[in-house]
Amino acid sequence: MSISVLGMSVSLDGFIAGPDDFLGGDDGQRLHSWFTRDGGFVPPTGPAGGLVAEWAAAGAVVTGRRTAELMDHWGGDHGGAPIFVVSHRPPGPAARWGYPDVHYLTGVADAMKQAKAAAGDRHVEVRGGYIGARAIEAGVLDEIQIHQVPVLLGRGRRLFEELSAPVELDIVRVIDTPDATHIRYRVRR
Amino acid sequence: MSISVLGMSVSLDGFIAGPDDFLGGDDGQRLHSWFTRDGGFVPPTGPAGGLVAEWAAAGAVVTGRRTAELMDHWGGDHGGAPIFVVSHRPPGPAARWGYPDVHYLTGVADAMKQAKAAAGDRHVEVRGGYIGARAIEAGVLDEIQIHQVPVLLGRGRRLFEELSAPVELDIVRVIDTPDATHIRYRVRR
């Protein structure tokens, strides 16, 4: 049975990006420094090394439209995994005609259902704070993998702006490294 | 040499209290459940047990006025430690005439200086998110002890609303328990 996992790098003061936009320039990049160097991808070694293998093992992706378009739909698939984009508007030209593995749907619950069917035994990677919040509210998010980075950004975009109701979590695993505290939560239902 | 430590229980989505006020009724109380039961103080056992002893060892307290007044100035001292309240307005009657160990000052840097002198070799406990943020901006906060509670409150008062500039931290210690992830940071300067 597939599970859905939202992965997010977050500053201690709760920001996932700088104030301007996705990744937010210098501020937002800081949050990714635990797996990047000089703008390039450098997987961590040691206890956090397995986290990257977890991403790569995703069987499908559910994402918001904003994230999808800013990432150019990851070129049409996410490391071979199909991409389910939640949006009320029809897809743009690239996603419509160029990418057979990109699917636009209007509801997060429907997107998750199709993504889980496509993922089989592998997990569904959820991308984007906004769609993550909507998945939580719809009761279709199973786990949250937080990478809490030891920095206060001061301002920017919040992990979740607001949720319609409180949600209890269970701590599944804590990985303690100098670059980040990686905490995995299960959403209680 | 005394160090200053801001201690805060925070939800995963970054709230320190419910939307209404300090502690915010049911929502805010949830954040304190790792050391309370049925409204009473129940120190944790196991790896988090030492955290309570750390509070009790404070040699002085620096607090915002809002926290001080909502807590009735802890009855005049904080477990025997003097209390330094940062406020631009003069103290009310109780603090003015009833409490010789409560001191009102207008600036956080001045309050911290006097608190550290009073604390001697013991640490200064900083109370309140707002005054914690001002202490960080003034360069007089040494450490942050976060108790990250596995819950999404959805809305409320943020740990820090905004800071004037990003601040780098170093992870000093992580205590992993089912009730909370206790992370201690040193503020880099």
Domain ranges of chain A: 4-35+44-187
Classified as helix, coil or strand, B51 is helix
Distance from CA of B185 to the nearest CA of A (A): 7
Gyration radius of chain B's alpha carbons: 16
Class of domain B4-187: alpha beta
Which A positions 47-106 lie with beta carbon below 8 A of chain B? Answer: none
Kindly determine whether residue B181 and residue A171, on different chains, have CB atoms separated by under 8 Å: yes
User: pLDDT for A141-162, tens place per residue?
Assistant: 999 999 999 999 999 989 998 8
DSSP A84-114: EEE-SSPP-HIIIII-TTEEEES-HHHHHHH
* Interior/surface letters B80-116, b for 16+ CB within 10 angstroms, e for the rest: ebbbbbbbeeebeeebeeebebbbbbeebeebbebbb
Report pLDDT for B96: 86
Per residue in A23-66, pLDDT (tens digit) is: 545 556 889 899 988 878 888 988 999 998 888 899 999 999 98
Q: Is the ipTM of this complex over 0.95?
A: no
Stated pTM of the model: 0.93
Give the CA diameter of chain B: 45
> In the prediction, which pLDDT does B169 show?
98
A43-52 own/partner pairs: CB under 8 Å, 24+ apart? A44/A177, A44/A179, A46/A177, A47/A175, A47/A176, A47/A177, A48/A175, A48/A177, A48/A179, A48/A180, A48/A182, A51/A145, A51/A147, A51/A175, A51/A182
Selected residue with higher pLDDT from B52 and A138: A138
Pairwise CB contact (< 8 Å): B14 & A159: yes
B residues 115-144 lying closer than 8 A (beta carbon) to A: 136, 144
Contact check, Cβ <8 Å, A170/B150: yes
The pLDDT value given to residue A24 = 47
Q: Residue B49 has which token pair?
A: 């047990």
pLDDT of residue B175: 97
Q: Which amino acid is at A110?
A: D
**Percent of chain A having pLDDT more than 70?**
96
**CATH top-level class of A4-35+44-187:** alpha beta
Say yes or no for a CB contact (<8 Å) between A162 and B155.
yes
Contact A174 B181 (CB under 8 A): yes
Cα dihedral A141, A147, A148, A154 in deg (nearest 10):
-80
pLDDT of A90 higher than 80: yes
Residue positions counted in chain B: 189
Average pLDDT score over chain B? 91
Note the pLDDT of residue A27: 56
The lowest-confidence range among A81-85, A97-101, B29-33, B35-39 is: B35-39
Q: Where are the alpha helices (DSSP H) in chain A?
A: 26-30, 49-56, 65-70, 93, 108-119, 129-137
**Look-up of token digits 């991808």:** A41
What DSSP string runs through B108-148?
HHHHHHHHHHHHTTSPEEEE-HHHHHHHHHTT---EEEEEE
Q: Does A14 touch chain B (CB under 8 A)?
A: yes
Are B12 and A171 inside 8 Å of each other by CB?
no
pLDDT of residue B97 exceeding 90: no
Radius of gyration of chain A (CA): 16
Decide if pLDDT at B23 tops 80: no
Mean pLDDT to the nearest integer, A110-117:
98
pLDDT of A74 strictly over 80: yes
C-alpha count within 13 angstroms, C-beta hemisphere, residue A9:
23
pLDDT at residue A23, as a whole number: 56
Query: Looking at the complex, does the CB of residue A169 fall below 8 Å from at least one CB of chain B?
Result: yes
Sorting pLDDT into bands at 50, 70 and 90, what band is B139?
very high
Q: Enumerate residues 6+ apart whose C-beta is below 8 A from B78.
A: B58, B61, B125
Which chain A residues contact residue B166 at CB under 8 A?
27, 30, 151-154
